[in-house]
Amino acid sequence: MLPTKRKIFTPSLQDQRHQFVFDHVRQNKPRKVADLGCSGGSLLRRLRFLPDISLLVGVDVQGELLTSMKYELRPLPSDYLQPRVNQLRVELFQGSVTQKDSRLRGFDLVTSIELIEHLTLDDVERFSSSLFGYMSPQVAIVSTPNSEYNPLLPGLAGFRHKDHKFEWTRAEFRSWALKVCCDYGYEVEFTGVGRAPPGQQDQVGFCSQIAVFRRLREGDRCNVWPGNDAEDLPYTKVASIIYPSLRDSNHLRGFLLCELFSCAKTLMTGSFVSVPLKILWSWSPKISELCESLSHLRNLLMDQPKVTLSQDGSAVIVKLENQGQDEDEDADN
């Protein structure tokens, strides 16, 4: 296990690995993301704040970790006060990464951070088949320790963790990754985190080596696991967590009311203000993004107790009297 008496990397090596994934997701905006071997869920907790992810899945063999994690991944009070624009569902599954579960197929991104070194070499082959042949994500990010860096780690004898079955050199990791590309139709880039001291980077490489796999065109792929009409579901679902979203009509109505009153105050000429729907539509970019049309906007507002439609339905009439008190009551509710 890595020495803990003094800090070797700042930020920590784990933080650097997770930041690498975070930056990739922020730049490439995958919608469906899965983390294999999610352990304590620190990567999932970081990724859940990115607005473009709609499905975030964690898989681990240790059920007790997942049970604890599901409480840590619950929506925060701020998630209800300021709901996301897009929907987010977080799901946790207990199972082995060598198993093939159809619910993990078709993802945009699958990560495996410091996982494969905990597998036997036979299980690494099963893992490769499951991840690249069966799940077949658009992108996969795999990291593992670089054994060439180990002599630079003070106090380290043997592997970095007692559960590691192996630790690869850069050449061994590259050999495995290129075979994956040949077998399953991917291309790969190599990088890493945890730089060596000045003058030693080329000699020993990164402390944690990373391969970013990208799937090639369908016609270039081989050894891909065929589709199966009968679903294979070996994983046990531990949790499914839904985050509040403006795509939900109740949250959307609350948001629209807040925007309506804000717009009405700028037009205020008395206790009652008439706000044309066209003006409200252009008031906030989110309104036109979330409402399909003016008629949809009208339907969302027409049943609200504090809002009255004009006779021709082209505007809403808002009562602003004692509005400060009303807003306090809304916040409490």
pTM of the model: 0.85
Average pLDDT (17-43) is 97
User: Residue 237: beta bridge partners?
Assistant: 93
Nearest residue to 50 (alpha-carbon basis) of 17, 84, 20: 84
Average pLDDT (33-56) is 96
Please confirm whether the linkage preceding 285 is cis (ω < 30° from 0).
no
CA–CA gap between residue 47 and residue 93 (Å, rounded): 17
pLDDT for 307: 81
Average pLDDT (122-135) is 98
Amino acid at 180: V
Which residues, in sequence order, are CB contacts of 92 under 8 Å at separation 6+?
38, 57, 58, 59, 60, 66, 69, 70, 73, 237, 238, 239, 240
Average pLDDT (195-211) is 96
CA–CA gap between residue 175 and residue 274 (Å, rounded): 69
pLDDT over 90, % of the chain: 69
CA–CA gap between residue 10 and residue 51 (Å, rounded): 27
The residue with greater pLDDT, 310 or 169, is 169
- State the residue for tokens 């970095």: 160
- Taking a C-beta distance cutoff of 8 angstroms, is the pair 21, 113 a contact? yes
Q: What is the pLDDT of residues 47-99, one digit of tens each?
A: 999 999 999 999 999 999 999 999 999 999 999 989 999 999 999 999 999 99
- Taking a C-beta distance cutoff of 8 angstroms, is the pair 107, 141 a contact? no
Q: What is the pLDDT of residues 250-270, one digit of tens each?
A: 899 889 988 998 888 888 777
Q: Which two tokens stand for residue 77?
A: 């009070």
Q: Identify how many contiguous H helices and E strands the chain contains and give both numbers.
A: 12, 11
pLDDT for 2: 54
| Domains of the chain listed by start with CATH number | 13-243 (3.40.50.150), 249-332 (1.10.10)
- State the residue for tokens 């799937």: 215
CA–CA gap between residue 59 and residue 236 (Å, rounded): 10
CA–CA gap between residue 218 and residue 226 (Å, rounded): 13
SS (H, E, C) 118-146: HCCHHHHHHHHHHHHHHHCCCEEEEEEEC
Angle formed at CA 312 by CA 252 and CA 265, multiple of 5 degrees: 50
Q: Which two tokens stand for residue 166?
A: 């192996």
Q: How confident is the model at residue 304 (pLDDT cuts 50, 70, 90)?
A: confident
Q: Which two tokens stand for residue 179?
A: 């075979």
The per-residue pLDDT of the chain, averaged, comes to: 89
Work out the burial of residue 157: count CB atoms within 10 Å of its CB; fewer than 13 is exposed, 13-18 middle, 19 or more buried.
Answer: exposed
Nearest residue to 119 (alpha-carbon basis) of 138, 144, 154: 144
Q: How confident is the model at residue 221 (pLDDT cuts 50, 70, 90)?
A: low
Look at strands 32-36 and 109-113 and give their pairing.
parallel
Amino acid at 254: G
Which residues, in sequence order, are CB contacts of 4 under 8 Å at separation 6+?
none
